[in-house]
Amino acid sequence: MTTIIEVRRLEKHYGGPPAVRDVSLAVNEGEFLSLLGASGSGKTTTLRMIAGLEIPTHGSVLFRGQDITNLPVAQRDMRMVFQDFALFPNLTVWENVAFGLKLRINRGRVTPAEIKARVGRYLDTVQLSAHAGKMPHQLSGGQRQRVSLARALVTDPPVVLFDEPLGSLDANMRKVMQLELKRLHRELKKTFIYVTHDQEEAMGLSDRVAVLQDGQLLQLGTPDEVYFRPACAAVAGFIGTANVLQGIAEIVPGRALGVRLAGGLRLDATDNAAGVANGEAVTIMLRAEQLDIAPAADHTTGGLRAQITERLFLGEKIRYELKVPGTELRLTAIAGGDHLRLSLGDEVIVTADPRNVRVLPGAPAPRAEA
């Protein structure tokens, strides 16, 4: 794959703790890469440094191998789509989309005929041809975001940057626009770099996801890798619904790796141990949907005995909050509709396939239970 954007050891300081610290990553040509993190993680600052809206305190930004760290925004071959649409309220949809192209007429880079053709093409691409003569206030939020997207695409940039572009839309419109973005990326084959705090959005749209926290890059990988093989406890806890527990590695000859949890409880794992040693403090991650629960009366051996303390109906799925009696251990399980028979207060047996127990080294040891 060909690298189109590369950031090397980016840092940004505003006087206090660094907003971005030592972030390095490469973006492949034609890729959909999401920068994912909570508020204050550094994702938007990183995007703005790529766009040229912020100058790094340290580090560099490269475009096709050329250093563009100090290049003005207007000279970078990329465009940005903002959350607030940033449309001109006194211009029609057609005029908003054409605005960037009209600036190029005097430079001899585009003709009026080309403007007409390009604007028509991209209004058709975002399915707004019928609304070309309308003013922004006459459009829905989703339509205004499509105008903003068409305006970014009409100059035919190889890279399009998105700063939480769906943040101001309602839940249903977000889903519609997510499908629209996926379609446009597939058809146009441009490089999309997308900032979001919505993990479901990032996982559904992206070829790869970069997870940031406190200005640092924690993990860069495919959605599958980030979800099922998190690099650290912070990623495990942030992505999806996970049980992140502390324990002690227990290696017994002839047996699978085990993790001794609070209260002397043990879970078996497979080869996800990352080289942990016997007696080492570890963190384990179990996805909520990878826990199996069944009525305690149906089991005589194996598993953890727990009690349902909360039950949330989520449509096709049910979320259970569980407590293991005699310990402080609490678990979350997400099960399908066939678990409708389980009720608040029921005792259940919890089991997990050892292949789904992710073991991460370096966690502090849990306090021993009395």
Segment 315-344 shows an average pLDDT of 88
Segment 217-241 shows an average pLDDT of 91
The pLDDT score that the predictor gives to residue 104 is 65
Q: Among 7-11, 150-154, 319-323, which stretch is predicted with the lowest mean pLDDT?
A: 150-154
pLDDT digits (tens, 9 = 90+) for 37-54: 999 999 999 999 999 999
Type of residue found at 369: E
Assign 131 a pLDDT band (cuts: 50, 70, 90): very high
CB atoms within 10 A of CB 338: 8
The pLDDT score that the predictor gives to residue 186 is 93
CATH architecture for segment(s) 241-361: Beta Barrel (2.40)
pLDDT digits (tens, 9 = 90+) for 148-202: 988 988 888 999 999 998 887 888 888 888 998 999 899 989 999 999 999 999 9
The domain defined by 3-228 folds into Rossmann fold (3.40.50)
- On whether the CB atoms of residues 294 and 343 are closer than 8 A, the answer is no
**pTM for the structure as a whole:** 0.86
Mean pLDDT of the chain: 88
All residues at 6 or more sequence positions from 98 whose CB lies less than 8 Å from its CB, including other chains: 115, 119, 154
The pLDDT score that the predictor gives to residue 172 is 85
Q: In whole angstroms, what is the distance from residue 170 CA to residue 204 CA?
A: 18
Q: In whole angstroms, what is the distance from residue 60 CA to residue 136 CA?
A: 38
Q: Among 26-30, 222-226, 237-241, 366-370, which stretch is predicted with the lowest mean pLDDT?
A: 366-370
- On whether the CB atoms of residues 244 and 238 are closer than 8 A, the answer is no
Q: In whole angstroms, what is the distance from residue 339 CA to residue 322 CA?
A: 14
Segment 221-248 shows an average pLDDT of 90
Does the pLDDT of residue 2 top 90, yes or no? yes
Does the pLDDT of residue 65 top 70, yes or no? yes
- On whether the CB atoms of residues 120 and 143 are closer than 8 A, the answer is no
Q: Would you list the domain boundaries of the chain?
A: 3-228, 241-361
Q: In whole angstroms, what is the distance from residue 57 CA to residue 253 CA?
A: 52
Q: Among 46-50, 65-69, 104-108, 168-172, which stretch is predicted with the lowest mean pLDDT?
A: 104-108
The pLDDT score that the predictor gives to residue 354 is 87
Assign 299 a pLDDT band (cuts: 50, 70, 90): low
> Quick one: three-class SS letters along the chain?
CCEEEEEEEEEECCCCCCCEEEEEEEEECCCEEEEECCCCCCHHHHHHHHHCCCCCCEEEEEECCEECCCCCHHHCCEEEEECCCCCCCCCCHHHHHHHHHHCCHHHCCCCHHHHHHHHHHHHHHCCCHHHCCCCHHHCCHHHHHHHHHHHHHCCCCCEEEEECCCCCCCHHHHHHHHHHHHHHHHHHCCEEEEEECCHHHHHHHCCEEEEEECCEEEEEECHHHHHHCCCCHHHHHHCCCEEEEEEEEECCCCCCCEEECHHHCEEECCCCCCCCCCCCEEEEEEEHHHEEEEEHHHCCCCCEEEEEEEEEECCCEEEEEEECCCCCCEEEEEEEHHHCCCCCCCEEEEEECHHHCEEEECCCCCCCCC
The pLDDT score that the predictor gives to residue 106 is 53
pLDDT digits (tens, 9 = 90+) for 243-287: 988 888 888 776 678 888 876 778 888 755 457 788 888 888 889
The pLDDT score that the predictor gives to residue 362 is 63
Q: In whole angstroms, what is the distance from residue 76 CA to residue 92 CA?
A: 27
The pLDDT score that the predictor gives to residue 364 is 42
The pLDDT score that the predictor gives to residue 133 is 94
Does the pLDDT of residue 242 top 80, yes or no? yes
CA 98 to chain centre: 32
Q: In whole angstroms, what is the distance from residue 283 CA to residue 227 CA?
A: 16
Assign 365 a pLDDT band (cuts: 50, 70, 90): very low
